[in-house]
Amino acid sequence: MQFQLLGLKVKLGRFQVALTTLILCAIVAGTIIASTALTHASNGWTSFTDPLYGFSLQYPSSWTLIREGNGSNITLYDPVTTDTISPIVTTQNATPATILKQPLPATARRQTIQSVAGHQSIDYILPYSIPKQVSARSAYGTQSRVVSVPVANIANSSNSSIYTFLLTQWTNGNGTINTSGQADLTTFASIVHTFSLPTQPLRSNSTLVNSTTNCGLARICWADNNWSFTNYTDTAANAYSIYCDDNGYNVAYSTNPQCINGGNVRQAAVPASNTYFQPNFECAEFLSRALAQNGFLPGLNSGGVGGTSPASASSTYGNYKGYNLINVGTSSVKGLSQYLLNNNIAINVGTNKAQAQAGDIIFFRDNTGNYYHAAIITAVANGIILFDAHNIAQYHGELFNTSGFDIYHFTTERSGPAVASNTDGRLEVLAHGSGGTIWHINETAANGPWSGWSPLQATITAQDTPTITASADGHLVAFARGSDSNIWYGTQNISTDTWTWSPLQSGYNFQSDPAVAKNQDGRLEIVAIGSSGNIWYNVQQTPNGAWVGWRPIHTGYGFQNNPTIASNADGRLEVFAHGSDGNIWHTYETAPNASSSWASWGRVATGYGFIGSPAVGKNADGHLEIIARGTDNRMWHNYQGKPNASFVGWSRLPGTLNGYQSDPIVGKNADGRLEIFALANDGDVWHSYQYSPNHAFGGWGILQSGYVFEDVPSIGYDKNGCMELFAINSNGNIWHDVQHAPSSSWIGWSPLQNGYTFE
């Protein structure tokens, strides 16, 4: 349980209780432990510098540091006691002196205000008692110690960055801390005393704190920002408290209309005690809005802090394409759980924690087997799973359960249709339909009209759109991840325009879509991320021939999203992937066609944080250029200093957008200029292109305003050399846009054929 006070996010526990459709919590007086003085950390600890906010601290080497996708938003975990420490950065439009004088929760025990990193701090303990309802740890309660350090920003002295350190500890059945817990109190105090501010002067953390791209996945960032709010249309940092109790905590907020019995409450009245979490919103709506931030609910805006606006009404979420996304989903109500499964967004892996990844959704079951609560996983490390939730209001709570829940694992991030050219120059488009069916459409003549959509003659049920390319002899081949998580292989019969599908090799479990490239000798090679996070490859024995079988490109690495593979100027293949540390990593063949010999994995450059999958283009002179979405919500690029050489270093591309919903994709104009495309938060496709071949990019511009797409577009090239884009709009139809002439401007969006729904 948590509450928000003075703009600070505070976690008060990790238990879950259910009463009919409500999630309730009881707070009573508990035992308060004695004050623990802050002391210097001992030698031999591990140092950590936050890559996003810039602060530093030290912690015991025996503790586990759990990061979110960008390496920030950390939680420190004691494996002996399962106590956690969460450093949280927030902002408030107030001076440090004002913040230090603001009232504490009524039952808090103030500790000595101490100097931390040369600034005064707030230091207090929140006692907590045993929960009244049965839960996975019904014999235990928790207590929290909080130290908050407000620091004025130099750009605006009336605006402060607040660094909050939260220790959450389990108590015994009497509400007291055991000996190990007492030791953690001392450790917590020492960790806080090692804290140091960023080396660069503080101007403001507002942009970072409110960003929905600084956690690795937009849905996680949004959940971190909004777990404590009762009104998603209000973005003020401290406008609402999540906790309504006129008998103790947050007395100053007890007159909030959100807390009045029956006021603005969905499904049930606020209990008579006025003790209730986020009375206006339910856990499923909280998660649905997070998914909308990530583009999984086309046409809906999330609202909230850092969200898309204007916020879509709750009633819109309650009736979205036949689903009630305010409900977790039951046998009688099609809710969020059914939406994720029926639209092939996620698969139910049950209690298999080994398959859990950041961004997955947890659905909790009651004693009748029905879902009653849900949460989003924010980080996974060393078997520890942390999550955000609403109603129960947990921030980085721990999934300690071993049963009574299902993990809905996201198979991949959304992608658009696939497109390639036939031997006669006709474009062919493959798309992922409902139920996992793959459909296709093609030009009836090169640069001519289009045929109608038809399902492929396939035995595959795909999780996402296939990857398509031409083999050495020119016939098209496609690769897709099936519902069995194996990679399937589809081959085209040119004379009959039919396809044959089969598993490339059974018995594997892949967590990404495949990427494909062609070796110098014409053999195709594919790469995909396996269940353990390593990248595996498979290559043809001869051009157009059989496959050698799956093999890992080194082991012991953790990658996420989808990998990218490209060919160097000398023919060596190079693989790029998003690492669990937020950096872009790469490896390459040691010689052309040397598929069994790969260089060691290495970061393209250290000290950067990225989101999603990188895109790679080949410049006119043959040098590779990487485009990736940064945690600062900007597009970055890095390129080889010359063909086949090392990379020069990351730099931001010029221009900004109002946030990105998609990873970038890059194409090459007929004159050799690279052109980048991405989906912005407004749903439109934007682009940026080089002024001349091998040179700098210009600013971003919109292709054509007024359209709402749900996926990054795909790029094809017609027989004349014009680029052609294909994207799925908010209604599920595929639209396309083509250049007037090679390397020129764009004609405008138009539907390929209405009446079909693709995913």
Higher pLDDT, 105 or 549: 549
DSSP 38-63: --PPPTTPEEEE-TTT--EEEE-TTS
Distances (CA, A) of 489 to 309, 485, 492, 502, 717: 41, 13, 10, 6, 23
**pLDDT tens-digit map of 648-696:** 999 999 876 655 667 899 999 999 999 999 987 667 899 999 999 999 9
Q: Which of 305, 336, 285 is nearest to 229 (CA)?
A: 305
**pLDDT tens-digit map of 608-661:** 878 778 999 999 999 999 999 886 768 899 999 999 999 999 999 987 665 566
What pLDDT is stored for residue 97 in this prediction? 92
If DSSP codes are grouped into helix, strand and coil, which group holds residue 99? helix
Residue pair 222/212 in contact (Cβ under 8 Å)? The answer is: yes
CA–CA separation, 311 and 230 (whole Å): 13
Angle between helices 218-226 and 283-293 (to 10 degrees): 140
**pLDDT tens-digit map of 625-638:** 999 988 676 889 99
If DSSP codes are grouped into helix, strand and coil, which group holds residue 252? helix
CA–CA separation, 493 and 29 (whole Å): 74
What pLDDT is stored for residue 650 in this prediction? 95
- Given a cut of 90, whether residue 528 has pLDDT beyond it is yes
Q: Which of 179, 144, 142, 151 is nearest to 165 (CA)?
A: 144
Whether the link from the prior residue into 198 is cis, omega within 30° of 0, is no
Q: Which of 7, 202, 169 is nearest to 76 (CA)?
A: 169
0.85 exceeded by pTM: no
CA–CA separation, 287 and 392 (whole Å): 13
Mapping DSSP onto H, E and C, the string for 119-183 reads EECEEEEECCCCCCCCCCCCCCEEEEEEEEEEEEECCEEEEEEEEEEEEEEEECCCCCCCHHHHH
CA–CA separation, 30 and 586 (whole Å): 53
> Which positions ≥6 away from 421 have C-beta within 8 Å?
427, 428, 470, 716, 717, 718, 719
What pLDDT is stored for residue 445 in this prediction? 94
What pLDDT is stored for residue 36 in this prediction? 34
What pLDDT is stored for residue 318 in this prediction? 87
Residue pair 27/277 in contact (Cβ under 8 Å)? The answer is: no
User: E-strand spans in 443-539?
Assistant: 454-455, 467-470, 476-481, 487-493, 498-503, 515-518, 524-529, 535-539
CA–CA separation, 662 and 681 (whole Å): 9
CA–CA separation, 225 and 7 (whole Å): 11
